[in-house]
Amino acid sequence: MYRLMQMIPVAANDVAFSLHAVALTSFTLYQVFIYERGNQKVSKVCISISAVVWSAAIVCLIVAWPKSNWLWLIDVFNSIQVAMTTVKYIPQAVMNFRRKSTVGWSIGNILLDLTGGVLNFGQMGVQSIDQHTLVNFYGNIGKTLLSLETVFFDVLFIIQHYVLYPVKRDENGKAIISERVAPLIRPSDKPEEDSV
């Protein structure tokens, strides 16, 4: 009970991070709808997981609303965020493992993500030293778990990319791709009419 009465340590940058993530995800989703994607579709598993998560979030909002139990709702949303982040990372890790390759996949975002996760821990550490309390780590357990999870998967991806499945290069420094890589979108089967 004491946990719910205690303030969750949330800084302005935490709010900015969330708004930034929502804005960029919305922009990515917008691009999914406006650009051609050939025969690619959102999987039934993805649709099912999304439907369950959104339904759970709405039910929790309805439960929290009458009693203004907002801290509980934030804890639930943090748990959902941690679970969805796991769901987001696992398919890429499994695909890299099955292919024994990271060819065609950019490590740049992972390096940036790792930097953000480490700096997040740094921020919580500095705040804890400044405030003489560890409430920054256990008061917002969702933020702590998310940072741990991000760092774990980023380190896994870095090990896959640089240690387990490094790109082989020829004498000119060009990558040797030993597997066949199919294009994401195949060209149209219709022959183009010659313009005169």
How would residue 140 be classed by pLDDT, with cut points 50, 70 and 90?
confident
41 against 148, higher pLDDT: 148
Residue 174 lies in a domain: no
Percent of the chain at pLDDT exceeding 90: 36
How would residue 96 be classed by pLDDT, with cut points 50, 70 and 90?
very high
CA 159 to mean position of chain CA atoms: 18
What amino acid is encoded at 141 in this protein?
I
- Give the pLDDT score at 120: 86
**Alpha carbon separation from 16 to 13, 20, 39, 154 (Å, rounded):** 5, 6, 36, 22
Average pLDDT over residues 50-63: 94
Average pLDDT over residues 46-51: 92
Model pTM? 0.74
How would residue 62 be classed by pLDDT, with cut points 50, 70 and 90?
very high
Residue 57 lies in a domain: no
How would residue 97 be classed by pLDDT, with cut points 50, 70 and 90?
very high
Residues comprising the chain, all counted: 196
Q: Which of 187, 174, 107, 139 is nearest to 11 (CA)?
A: 139
Residue 4 reports pLDDT greater than 50: no
CA distance 27 to 21: 10
- Give the pLDDT score at 186: 60
Helices assigned H by DSSP within the chain = 2-5, 12-34, 44-67, 70-99, 108-131, 135-138, 141-159
Residue 47 reports pLDDT greater than 70: yes
Average pLDDT over residues 20-47: 87
91 against 135, higher pLDDT: 91
Please tell me the total count of domains within the chain.
1
Residue 181 lies in a domain: no
Average pLDDT over residues 22-50: 88
Residue 108 lies in a domain: yes
- Give the pLDDT score at 182: 58
Cβ proximity of 8 and 139 under 8 Å: yes
Q: Which of 150, 160, 98 is nearest to 119 (CA)?
A: 150
Exposed/middle/buried for 190, CB within 10 Å: 0-12, 13-18, 19+? exposed
Residue 170 phi/psi, 5-degree rounding, is: -85, -175
**Which residues are CB-contacts of 134 (< 8 A; sequence separation ≥ 6)?**
128
Residue 50 lies in a domain: no
Give the DSSP H/E element, type plus range, for residue 175. strand 175-176
Residue 177 structure tokens: 């791709």
**Angle at alpha carbon of residue 154, lines to 124 and 149, rounded to 5°:** 50
Residue 116 lies in a domain: yes
The range of the structural domain enclosing residue 162 comes to 2-29+70-167
Residue 189 lies in a domain: no
Residue 162 lies in a domain: yes
